[in-house]
Every structure is written in structure tokens, then in C-alpha cells.
Amino acid sequence: MDNIRISICIPTRNRANFIGTAIESIISQADNSIEIVVVDGASCDNTQEVVLGYRKKFRNLIYCRQEENGGVDRDMAKAIAAARGEYCWLFSDDDALKPGSIERMLKEIDSGYEIYLCNVTACNLDMKPIRDRFWLSAKVNDRVFNLHKKDELIEYCERASSIGALFSFWSSVILSRREWNKAGYSHDFEGTAYASASVILSFVRHKCRLKYIKSPLVLWRNDNVSFQDDGGLVDRFLLDFNGYLRLANKYLSDDLKVRKAFLKVMTREHPWYTIIHAASFIGSPELWRDFSAKLLKFGYSRRMAQSCYSLGRQKKLVAIAVNLKRKIVKSPRVHKIKKLFLTRSI
């Protein structure tokens, strides 16, 4: 069992309806060099039954059930601690691997870089593909970034189109288990949803080479969210804002240029029209002052923030615009046209 090359680490809780799809997508293409580590945060449904049912098909499956829910950050850390592979693929329990993804990554890790970052294909709740999602500019192809070098870290942030490039999306991240163990789990970030990102960002203080893989290797169940249609959207934004401000304060406070480039990525993750959507749910002046103060720290302009708040007061118009945008985003035909345009223009 010492020849495990990749451990796919999956924290889970009450996802019996989804985790089977994730595991099936792995074992359908895995060999003896792959293991699956599932840490169950005290599920109340039949998650245990579902996971253990796959042991008959795949012997390299480790299942650890917790007696109480310790939170997703801690459960991911426990999954990595139980892993035996050279690399750990951080994975969400409701996503799935595309066919051929494991074969691709087994070849990639021969290069021995500290981090690998792949892209994803966004899907609906039934895992029907909608569009490919790229964490860096669509013009960036496969490339190695030396993130421990200031200029390359700044360039990487400037090319980032989403905080997915800053390790916010687990299923895209494959990392060296040795480097994770050297850095150590960050209890300071436990409960923020960004404890793993904190460990990974600590790599940049030392030697940190990231191989960006343009190909989408993961199917992302993008519709499986609970904050799109109510005030929970504001909580989601604040989760990102608070988490990345803390990350910048801890790891990038000594270089204002790097810090600015890092924080600026948030303006591409949440462009102005999404700020209007969030603002439409903010009724308290106190909450808006806190929200807008954070916007300024990420590089949004004061005028833009004020305009978004004013437009957000038009709640009915915002709701109509959001519903229209969702229909466009989910239209396969629209994305075929967009893909054709990008292919011809690059």
C-alpha cells in the first residue's frame, strides 16, 4: 500500500444523495495507485451506508466517521492526515471527475510541483454540463507559475478571473501532501471555510511552484447552493470578503503591491452587477456600511459601491435582471456561440 500516488480527500456530511456520484466517477477510472479518503462529519442520513457500499468495488477506500460535526475545514484536514498518497486531491462530495482526469493527473504529478490547479465544467443539479469555468484568463494555457517569486505571484493574481485561482474551490486543487504536512493545519482559520487556502498560501513563503492546467477535469454541481435567492447571498459575499482579508493580512501584509493584486481578484469574482444583487437584500444601513467598507478594501471604487446600493433599492428590477441572466448562463446554445467566438479571437 506504499505505492499510493494520489489520495482523493472528501469531507462530507448528509450528502448521501450526491456522494455516490463523486465516488463512482473516481473508481471508474482509478487503479491501485489511487485511494479515496472520506471523512464523515456525523451525518444523520445514510451517507455511511452509501460510502461503505463502494468498498466491494474499490478496496482503497478509507471511511472515517466522526462522532460529532467538527466543521468542513477540520474534516478536510483529517482526511489529509489519514491519506497516504504523494499528492492529495481536495474534493467536494457533490462534484465528479471527468473521464480521463486521473490518468492526466498521474502524468502531471511526475513533474513534482507543489500545487496543481485545474479548471471545471459547471453543471446543473442533475450534472448536465452548462459551461466551462476558467480560474485564469481564457488566454492563459498550461503554465507553471513560481508563486514564491514576487513578480510571478503578482502576474498570477492579475491573470486570475476568480478566487478559484486563490484556492477557494477544492475540487480544482491537487497538492503535495509533504508540503501540506510541513506547513501544518491552520487552526486560526478553522470555521472560515478558508483554512485549506490558508495552508496552501503559506507555501508561497518558501518554494511554491503551481502548474496551471487549463483543461476542465471536474464536473461542478454549480446549482447545489442555498444562498442564491435570499439574504444568504449577503452572507456568502461576507464569507469571501472576511476570509480573503484575513488571508491577505496574515500572508501578504509585508508587501502592499502583492496584497493589492491579491485582493483585486475579488472584484473579478464579484463584478458590479453581482454587488447590486447582494445590495438588494441589504436593508440595514449598518450592514451596508460594513459591506461597503469591505468593498473599498478590495479595490472597488466608492462611486461604484454607492451606485450599486442605489440600484439595489430597485428590488423588482433586480429580480427580473437576475432571472434573465440565469436563463442566459444556463443556455448551452449561448455558450457554444461564446466558445466559438473565443476560439476564433485567440
Neighbours of 99 (CB within 10 A): 11
Q: Measure the CA–CA gap between 152 and 263, rounded to whole angstroms.
A: 16
- Per DSSP, 53 falls in state G
Q: Residue 316: pLDDT band by 50, 70, 90 thresholds?
A: confident
pLDDT of 25 above 80 = yes
- To the nearest whole number, what is the mean pLDDT of the chain? 90
- For the chain, the structural domain boundaries read 6-221, 232-313
In angstroms, the CA 187 to CA 199 distance is 10
At residue 187, the pLDDT reads 87
Q: Flag whether pLDDT at 331 surpasses 60.
A: no
154, pLDDT greater than 80 = yes
pLDDT band with cut points at 50, 70 and 90 for residue 169: very high
- Our CA dihedral for 164, 325, 277, 118, rounded to 10 degrees, sits at 0
What's the confidence (pLDDT) of residue 323?
64
pTM over 0.95: no
pLDDT digits (tens, 9 = 90+) for 106-149: 999 999 999 999 999 999 999 999 999 999 999 999 999 999 99
pLDDT at 64: 97
Q: What is the pLDDT of residue 128?
A: 95
Q: Are 46 and 16 in contact (CB under 8 A)?
A: yes
What pLDDT, on the 0 to 100 scale, is given for residue 346? 37
pLDDT digits (tens, 9 = 90+) for 181-223: 999 998 899 989 999 999 999 999 889 999 999 999 999 998 6
What local confidence, expressed as pLDDT, does residue 232 receive?
A: 85
State mean pLDDT over 280-297.
Answer: 94
Higher pLDDT, 334 or 79: 79
pLDDT of amino acid 4: 97
- Which of 34, 17, 127, 140 is closest to 89 using CA atoms? 34
Instruction: Give 327's pLDDT tier (boundaries 50, 70, 90).
Output: low
pLDDT of 4-23, one tens digit each?
999 999 999 999 999 999 99
* 72-82 and 195-202 helices, crossing angle to 10°: 50
Residue 334 clears pLDDT 70, i.e. is over it: no
Determine contact, residues 85/210, Cβ cutoff 8 Å. Answer: no
Q: What percent of the chain has pLDDT over 90?
A: 82
Residue 162 φ/ψ region, left for φ over 0, alpha for ψ in the -120 to 50 degree band, beta for the rest: beta
Average pLDDT over residues 307-311: 93
pLDDT band at 314 (very low <50, low <70, confident <90, very high): confident
Please report the pLDDT score of residue 322 as a whole number.
Answer: 61
Give yes or no for residue 224 having a pLDDT over 60: no
The CATH code for residues 6-221 is 3.90.550.10
